Amino acid sequence: MLRAITVATLLVGMVGGCARPVRPMGYQTIGQDPNRNTAQARKDSTQALRLLKDGKVAEAEELLKKALTADVMFGPAHNNLGLVYFRAGQLYLAAWEFQYASRLMPHQPEPRNNLGLVLEAAGKLDEAIKSYDDALRLEPDNPQLLGNAARARVRKGDKSDELRDMLEKLVMRDTRPDWIEWARKELAMRGKSKEN
């Protein structure tokens, strides 16, 4: 499940040894302006979340672009724009936004988790697992992050004790009945642990 709090992006473009992010088309930024309007970006981003919840995706996208025009460094707007792109199936743009948000919000797990979702949807399980693990390092007890990391490992065919531990934690910590049932089934299919 996506947490509509932040957005992530994919690093792109290496030129002459210097990483230079390529900005998606559609909004102008004032990143070099010391007078960024963070308050306006926050207001627009919050309103865009309400629109997203109401299913008004196009309006939300425009408002998030407006937020980023006011303050290109406002990470939550990048994360939320990534959610818009992800829901629209625009995986490249979603990944770009999630990765950029990750850089702007180094202590927040949501952009990394969201990037993992994009990478998993694109079939890049190794990269998705790395992204989920990065999110888990920030919030190791978060059942949503734990569930996503475990699911990607199951999809990859992982049979490790690490996965078993994740599934056991998920059964103990998650409150979502469908995830608890899934984790129990996965544990049952794996049989007893090596220690037993």
pTM above 0.75, yes or no: yes
Q: List phi, psi (to 5°) of 20.
A: -135, 110
Report CA Rg, the chain: 18
Domains 1-122 and 127-196 share a fold: yes
> Distance of alpha carbon 110 from its chain centroid, rounded?
5
Residue 26 has pLDDT above 80, yes or no: no
Q: How far apart are CA 20 and CA 70, in angstroms?
A: 21
Residue ranges covered by each domain of the chain = 1-122, 127-196
Q: How far apart are CA 171 and CA 98, in angstroms?
A: 29
For 14-48, give one letter per residue: b (16+ CB within 10 A) or e.
Answer: eeeeeeeeebbeebeeeeeeeebbeeebbebbebb
Class in CATH terms, 127-196: mainly alpha
Q: Using one digit for the tens of pLDDT, what is the confidence trace for 62-119?
A: 999 999 999 999 999 999 999 999 999 999 999 999 999 999 999 999 999 999 999 9
Name the one residue in this structure whose structure tokens are 């030129």. Answer: 15
Q: How far apart are CA 178 and CA 187, in angstroms?
A: 14
Mean pLDDT score, 115-126: 97
CATH number for the segment(s) 1-122 = 1.25.40.10
